[in-house]
Structure 1
Amino acid sequence: MRLPAFFLLAFAAIGTHAADDNEIPPEILSGRTCEEHLLQAAPMTWNDLPKQARGREHNAVVVASFRLDGSGKAKDATVVFSRPARIFDQTTIALLGRTQFAPGAVEESCYYIRTYSAVRRSGR
């Protein structure tokens, strides 16, 4: 679905960090993203965007921990860090649930780091 012209939405994929990394605890930043097992990151659609974020400028980062059990899907995903708190948590867990990992990959501790931002374009 095409997004409204007055918003430019930029969604960074797995393995990227927010501009202000010093907010994310160092033990998370030093953890594994398991992106070597990533086959396809789930695309974000307008329907994934939380209602309270629609039509507003925002910058957010959410980190979820998960494990890989060989099925190709993230298991036991939980949010371990989010700024601002809770707004994008459900979106992040849903996107992680739709992300495809290599079948047979087994990892006990991975981090999924997702950033979200939208800025209003002037003159539209």
Structure 2
Amino acid sequence: MSGVPESVERHCPAFQVAVELAGRRWNGAILLAAARGAARYSEFLTAVPGISERLLAQRLRELDAEGVLVRTVVPSTPVQITYSLTDKGTELVEAVRPLIAWGERWIGAGARVDG
């Protein structure tokens, strides 16, 4: 028992949005890659094996729109675009870390992520 009334736990829209944001396919891996230092598009492609270029671009835009990543355009030749975690994104990564530990403990490192 958590001390939170069951009716609140069942109908908490903020929880639902948070779980869907963190749990959407590839988002967790992208956020963890950012936490580990990935900043440029190519670094995310390397750090998130199996994601297509199109889907990575889409997810980066979505995470930027949600305010968990910030997209920075560096006016240089050629133009450089970097992504970094916002405070909101850093907190989301920290919130997900216990779930990662749970998965490693109960599901194992060989768990499939392809659907």
**TM-score normalised to structure 1 length:** 0.29
Relative to its length, the structure with more helix (as a share) is 2
**Could you say which structure has the greater relative contact order, defined with CA pairs below 8 angstroms and 6 or more residues apart?**
1
TM-score w.r.t. length of structure 2: 0.31
